[in-house]
Amino acid sequence: MKALIARLYPICRSITGPGVRETLGILREQIPLEIREVPSGTPVFDWVVPEEWVIRDAFVKDPSGARVIDFRAHNLSVVNYSRPFRGRLTLEELRPHLHAEEAHPDWIPYRTSYYQEAWGFCLPWNRLRAMGPGPYEVEIDAEVKPGSLTYGECLVPGESDEEVLVSAHTCHPSLANDNLSGIAVAVELIRGLMARKPRLSYRFLFIPGTIGSITWLALNEARLSRIRAGLVAVNLGDPGIMHYKKSRRGDAAVDRAAAHVLGARGDHRIEDFSPYGYDERQFCSPGIDLPVGCLSRTPYGRFPEYHTSADNLDLVREEALAASLETFRAIFAVLERDGVYLNLSPKGEPMLGKRGLYAALGGRSDTKDRQMAMLWVLNLSDGRHSLLDIAERAGLPFELVADVAETLQAHDLLAPAAGRVL
């Protein structure tokens, strides 16, 4: 995962353009990714797919000809989606187009101008302070032209056509945690799912933020009823604790699965839904209302390096990526194994001894917990309670409850209830 992030890091991405295609092309070397192109001007709900941005170079040269701001040195140095410009300006004339943060004087901030006619540069505050009166040679070799919005989609089919949606955004340039970490974890999740036949189907989206999710939703309304759970994957490589932001529904299967997994894994934080953040706000918009939460380490805007050049490869820790990956896999495991069952011997407690079930428990260190799990599963498997319901009510690990349910099925004491898989 860290190697993939390092390979993608230098690429200048935006909501459209060659950088997105180059990124998706690299991902397609590793996973079976379908790359889609949606033409500029396509109506998507209340939005329109924008024109495509292409940038070749951008710089500010001082009177000696030295590049004091250089897009080639760091792609955050130009305001993303800047319109083309060429001119000779004094510092006073140039200053309204320069962006720097005094609070972090050695970092380059990240700024965008997607939906307005503007241009500009970003630079460290200390460099701005050192600039003389000029004049400066200023050039942004870019164009905004009819083209398309590009996104990637990968479906890992399961035994059921009911789907889990995972989304990572592809629109940020050289920012490692936000969101190359999400892309890398998603790719590794796909590898793991492809190595076996999952029960559920898993659809992964690699899309530009906001306009990408809106575009995908607008073009795929007919299939949205299949989505039973979803997660936005973002900020997964920093050293912060795990955070889960609930879906708009607040009590969806994915919300409860995430809470159960994180509750067993130490320090974490679960937050209620709000209509601000990443693409969960599009998936959870009232006319869509999908059960999609957001799983991250430190959320947006809460780590100092957020949207600056300090969000680099040093910020992303291998152990954090690994822990994030395992958290996703644990949530998937709950979604995969959860279900509603029927006790096939519901009148009185079935005699477990004659079926050898008590004998099967002998000598185990967790005998008491397994016995209690068996009794809870039998008691609550009435076609109304899921295995996750039972684990929560009994205060037992979901994995234990699911294991016991499999044992009871093997002894013809339990059967899946008819209805949805999840």
> pLDDT, tens digit, for every residue of 284-305?
999 999 999 999 999 999 999 9
356 pLDDT higher than 50: yes
Mean pLDDT, residues 206-218: 97
Residues 414/374, Cβ–Cβ less than 8 Å: no
Distance, CA of 121 to CA of 59 (rounded, Å): 8
Residue list for the binding site: 172, 178, 307
Share of the chain above pLDDT 90, in %: 90
239 contacts: CB under 8 Å, gap ≥ 6? 297, 317, 320
Mean pLDDT of the chain: 94
Task: Give tens-digit pLDDT for 10-20.
Answer: 999 999 999 99
Distance, CA of 384 to CA of 413 (rounded, Å): 17
52 contacts: CB under 8 Å, gap ≥ 6? 16, 17, 40, 144, 145, 146, 147, 148, 149
pLDDT at 353: 77
Residues 135/155, Cβ–Cβ less than 8 Å: no
Distance, CA of 280 to CA of 273 (rounded, Å): 9
**If we measure between CA atoms, which residue out of 374, 388, 369 comes closest to residue 345?**
374
Question: Domains in the chain, start-ordered, CATH in brackets?
Answer: 2-50+149-337 (3.40.630.10), 52-145 (3.50.30.90), 340-416 (1.10.10.10)
Residue list for the binding site for Zn(2+): 172, 178, 307
Task: Give tens-digit pLDDT for 136-177.
Answer: 999 999 999 999 999 999 999 999 999 999 999 999 999 999
422 pLDDT higher than 70: no
Task: Give tens-digit pLDDT for 330-345.
Answer: 999 999 999 999 999 9
Distance, CA of 243 to CA of 129 (rounded, Å): 38
Distance, CA of 111 to CA of 79 (rounded, Å): 5
Pairing of strands 201-207, 163-169: parallel
pLDDT at 263: 92
70 Cα distance to chain centroid: 31
pLDDT band, residue 361 (cuts 50/70/90)? very low
Distance, CA of 251 to CA of 249 (rounded, Å): 6
